[in-house]
Structure 1
Amino acid sequence: MTTVLHIDSSARPGRSDLAAHGSHSRRLTARFIDQWRLQRPNDTILYRDVGSHPPAPVTGDWIHAAFTKPDQREDWMQDVLRESDILIDELLQADVIVAGVPMYNFGMPAQMKAWIENIVRVGRTFGFDRSRKTVPYWPMVTTGKSVVVLSARGDYGYNPGERLAHINHVEGGVFTPLEYIGITKSYSAAVEYDEFSDDRTSLSITAAETNVSEIVNTLVTQYGDKTVQNQTR
């Protein structure tokens, strides 16, 4: 079976298909999970809402504890790293990470950044040895995982090669640190024109939902045969 880690990071609690001012990114991640369950109903789905329950930010104590060898950590250090350990364990358990990451001021929400800071950790998801003659850092997550970022943007033209691509720091902000720790397969889709609230918004939502379906189908193929039974047999 496959395990999917579903993360939402929007500050908006509802979905745009269910509430007037709901989140488009939550709408897209819900669609991803619904379609995944349809094709693979026996898979495990883990859920974490960092938008509503953000991880604690990294502090000086966190850094001190993380860079202390595990067998030398004091009890307070274990306490400081406990939430990070939980988040990393979820990440390591998952085969697919699907994250709803809306664009806030051209980057990801602070809540999502806090999640990334907690899971990119020396000794657990990346290694470091200053005495290595080659690159002193190396990834420790090497199990063929995939990450999917589903976003929403108020303006339009943020895709590669478009007019605002150079100020879009959402997908790269997620993909770069995850690639650093070893997760190199990445996919994305996004709703645009949110601030316009016209036909372009509706068309963008439809296009993004189609993209989500295509990503699900691609990943289902990669991670094994569909388990849903054909009811017409």
Structure 2
Amino acid sequence: MSLQSQVAVIHEQELRKPQFNLLLWVMLALVALGISGGLYALYVGHHQAFGLTREIPWGIAISTYAYFAIISTGLCGLAALSHLFGGNNLAPLANRMVWLSIASILGAFLVIGLELESVWRMPLGVILYPNPTSNIWWMGTLYGMAVGIMLVELFLIITRRFKLAVILGVCAAVTELCANSNLGSVFASLNARPFWYGSQLPIFFLASAFLSGAAAIILFTHGASALRNSKVGRESFEGMQTAGKVMA
């Protein structure tokens, strides 16, 4: 791990408490509202809550899941690149990208869990009834592996075992990139959806991942600076500029 990343761990500034507490309660309220809506949809039926039919079986929950999963992949990939190749401008933002990637994929799991009527069947099915010919089985398996690896990576970063954290970060990035490509292939195989069909979709999903990940780290870095009521540091600002170039 680069020197900039180590300094980012050691010298992370404390958030201003009043603003942070207010934002935390607002975010928790939004999460509670979303979970309540998901539980309501499970109670009345997705066809009533989301306007789903046999002709349109996938609704807003599926697109929201893909949104969070794609952002997580981009953040994880950029974090691995910045950790693996030290001395680049993204290095000071790498640890924040790891944390945001974990938060994004957990959000994706929450959404897909509220979409599935029998949510416990997916983890059990992945373990007890593996089906290597199924894209959805691979998607669940790879994303499950990725979040486990990233949680261990974050723990190693916090405990300053950086060399092992870099190795796990690369493993997590490879796993997430494979999972993201697999997610694209799930949509690519649905020839009933003219605008979401074709072999180009896995590549499009990968490009969208890096675009979304770069946008997310710019947004949250600016937000963290605003919460501290301070200007963005020079190294962080250069990292944001590099993330902007990734978007371009």
* TM norm structure 2: 0.29
Higher strand share: 1
* TM norm structure 1: 0.30
Higher helix share: 2
